[in-house]
């Protein structure tokens, strides 16, 4: 009887939270429209015409592919409903768009929290981190292919070529560091840092078990099905390609001419910015 009461209370709290968050989202949308100008927004919607639903569908499609890739990664622990992952992905991307600095911090952390009912945080966080690593790897491959294309086919300033190669190198180094940290584990590294002060040592002792669990689960990800990891990589790579298609549709909606190489060129720099922030 007591359990039923607790369950009803929890369900009531969840429903209330959803209503509040939905209302807040609608209010935020209204504020954004007001700041941009309702007339300007309407004129852009009219100009976009049937391209607008195409843009939305394309964006949802590449996010859905990323959600499938994440489900493969998260499946190393236990299955999480794809709809839950898809919803978490949309929320994380939305948070990253509204607060750019939080794109790779708050937004990604939200993914693990949203799926907590299906996968505890000691499994959700490693799954998100490893999925993000695979996404970065796919982004790196896409960037390399895109940079190769426009270095050959487009006449661009030397400074821009150099900056592009520097960005590619930085992303590669960051990816290598991420893989090393995940493979070797963070327990020993944080343990050394925690020796700095008594308070940090106390915190480390309290979190020792969680850190060991994190390292163990991260190593489990590396022993996951190689075929599954390859499929996840290809899904993330395809999602990046669909991002270029989305940019092409937007350019066409604005009535501008766009060649394939130029679209890839724009999408490459979009990926660089999204990866960095």
- Tens of pLDDT along 83-135? 999 988 988 887 766 665 544 555 677 888 888 888 888 888 888 888 988 98
130: tokens are 């490893």
Residue 268 has what pLDDT? 77
| Lowest-pLDDT range of 21-25, 38-42, 56-60 | 21-25
Residue 145 has what pLDDT? 82
Instruction: Compute the 3-state secondary structure of the chain and give helix, strand, coil in percent, each to the nearest 5.
Output: 85, 0, 15
Cα–Cα distance measured from residue 111 to residue 190, given in angstroms and rounded to the nearest whole number: 24
Cα–Cα distance measured from residue 25 to residue 31, given in angstroms and rounded to the nearest whole number: 10
Residue 100 has what pLDDT? 54
How much of the chain, in percent, has pLDDT values that exceed 70? Answer: 86
pLDDT > 80? residue 81: yes
Going by pLDDT thresholds of 50, 70 and 90, the confidence category of residue 151 is: confident
Going by pLDDT thresholds of 50, 70 and 90, the confidence category of residue 175 is: confident
186: tokens are 């963070």
The residue among 78 and 183 whose pLDDT is bigger is 78
pLDDT > 80? residue 192: no
pLDDT > 90? residue 221: no
Q: For all residues of the chain together, what is the average pLDDT?
A: 80
CB 221 within 8 Å of CB 76? yes
**Count of other CB atoms within 10 angstroms of residue 274:** 17
Residue 61 has what pLDDT? 95
Residue 103 has what pLDDT? 47
Cα–Cα distance measured from residue 192 to residue 201, given in angstroms and rounded to the nearest whole number: 9
pLDDT > 80? residue 75: yes
Give the sign of the dihedral formed by CA 150, CA 156, CA 158, CA 160.
negative
| Lowest-pLDDT range of 98-107, 172-181, 190-199, 250-259 | 98-107
274: tokens are 């999204």
pLDDT > 60? residue 37: yes
């Amino acid at each position: 009887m007591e359990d039923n009461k607790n369950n009803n209370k929890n369900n009531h709290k969840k429903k209330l939270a959803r209503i509040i968050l939905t209302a807040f989202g609608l209010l935020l949308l209204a504020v954004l429209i007001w700041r941009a100008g309702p007339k300007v927004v309407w004129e852009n919607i009219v100009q976009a015409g049937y391209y607008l639903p195409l843009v939305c569908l394309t964006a949802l499609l590449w996010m859905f592919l990323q959600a499938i890739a994440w489900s493969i990664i998260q499946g190393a622990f236990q299955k999480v409903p794809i709809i839950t992952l898809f919803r978490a992905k949309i929320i994380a991307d939305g948070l990253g768009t509204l607060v750019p600095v939080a794109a790779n911090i708050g937004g990604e952390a939200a993914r693990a929290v949203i799926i907590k009912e299906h996968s505890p945080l000691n499994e959700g966080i490693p799954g998100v981190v490893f999925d993000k690593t695979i996404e970065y790897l796919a982004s790196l491959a896409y960037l390399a292919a895109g940079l190769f294309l426009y270095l050959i086919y487009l006449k661009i300033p030397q400074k821009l070529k150099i900056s592009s190669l520097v960005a590619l190198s930085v992303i590669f180094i960051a990816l290598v560091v991420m893989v090393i940290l995940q493979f070797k584990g963070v327990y020993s590294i944080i343990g050394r840092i925690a020796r700095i002060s008594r308070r940090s040592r106390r915190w480390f002792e309290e979190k020792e078990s969680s850190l060991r669990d994190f390292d163990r689960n991260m190593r489990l990800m590396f022993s996951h099905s190689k075929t599954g990891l390859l499929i996840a990589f290809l899904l993330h790579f395809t999602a990046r390609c669909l991002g270029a298609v989305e940019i092409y549709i937007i350019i066409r909606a604005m009535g501008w001419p766009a060649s394939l190489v130029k679209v890839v060129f724009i999408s490459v720099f979009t990926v660089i910015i999204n990866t960095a922030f």
